[in-house]
A and B are shown apart, each in its own frame.
Chain A
């Protein structure tokens, strides 16, 4: 893999991963405001 191809590939992979993570965080932000607090507590994991 050439330097140029590696840099472009890295940028594309990072961009896709960041976008997916941001979408996940946005969903959490929305759903956290609207979910049941009882269900949220019931699914908590304690060691």
Chain B
């Protein structure tokens, strides 16, 4: 009987271990939009041009491209899908966004089925940047390309034009129940250099800090590398996965696209990343977002679209998408 009990005890111990792992880690591993797949970072179905229910900025435009024009193909980072989809909604002819099989679907590997002749694509930062370099995309909406990406373009002999079109803030976030509401720039940098490893060192309870990172060359990771002045840890402390997490993103992606009520943005140097504090310049980590295109692109409509984005109408559309335009600084 004791031997049977011993065997049962072994099973119970392993079950408890796995249950603990599940509760602390496994159940938290999924994507906001599609299971455990980081490639699908936005629900593109919400931002399809020429669909009445789409959540786009319909601010109007005096600039219109016709079906007979050579329409620039637009692509971009997840957080900027609403912006370039709104460009198409306001300036492009209806019918220019097409899908394989004729109907939008988001159940293929990368999530969307834009046809090869569609004026709208969604390949996100890494694949989309390669597409603008190889010429299959004309205009790419993104955070500033990384040094690696710029070097890659240069190696291929491609000169890029990188034009700022709006303002965005880079934000840090924690779980809403984390008692810490703000950090300084120095504290954040120390956390991501493993110099501060416990929330008690920044005014919180005793609990390890789990500093989360993103995949290399993603828009937010490129911004983080810049923020850290290329001096970031190689790896987190092994047990930090059980600690209280901190992550980073762009404000609009976090508060507008994902809009998860269980996370909160942190003030930085005592300033909360509100739209007002981005406009007045008091939030300390504000950056431009850009449209990128090949300098040798001979489609005249590429520069016409860029000029429109920089016009009052274009900037109004960017504001209508929830971002901050250049003119507000």
Contacts and interface: CB of A to CB of B under 8 A. Distances in A.
Interface in B218-261: 241, 244-247, 249, 254, 258, 260
A36 B27 CA distance: 12
A42 B26 contact: no
Given A1-B3, A13-B10, A34-B38, A41 B26 contact: no
Contact of A31 (B4, B23, B29, B215): B29
Q: Which of A13, A25, A41 has the most CB of B within 10 A?
A: A41
B84 to A, nearest CB: 22
B3 A6 contact: yes
A26 B247 CA distance: 23
Interface string A9-47: 110011001101100110110111111111111111110
Interface residues on B, range: 35 or more
Contacts of A24: 18, 21-22, 26
Contact of B32 (A33, A38, A45): A38
B184 to A, nearest CB: 20
B10 A10 contact: yes
A35 B38 contact: yes
Interface stretch (B161-169, B174-182, B273-281): B174-182
A37 B173 CA distance: 10
Interface in B1-29: 3-4, 6-7, 10-11, 14, 17-18, 21-29
- Chain B binding surface SS class: mixed
A34 B179 CA distance: 27
A41 B174 contact: yes
A28 B26 contact: yes
B303 interface: no
B263 A42 contact: yes
Contacts of B249: 37-38
Interface on chain A toward B: helix, strand, loop, or mixed SS?
Answer: helix
B31 interface: yes
A20 B247 contact: no
B177 A39 contact: no
A9 B3 CA distance: 10
B31 A39 contact: yes
A38 B10 CA distance: 36
Contact of B10 (A1, A14, A40, A41): A14
B26 to A, nearest CB: 6
Given A21-B18, A24-B18, A24-B21, A44 B254 contact: no
Given A40-B245, A46-B178, A34 B36 contact: yes
A39 B21 contact: no
B113 to A, nearest CB: 21
B258 A38 contact: yes
B32 A39 contact: yes
Contacts of A36: 30-32, 38, 41, 258
B175 to A, nearest CB: 4
**8 smallest A-B Cβ distances: which pairs?**
A42-B262, A46-B177, A17-B14, A31-B29, A43-B28, A37-B247, A44-B175, A35-B29
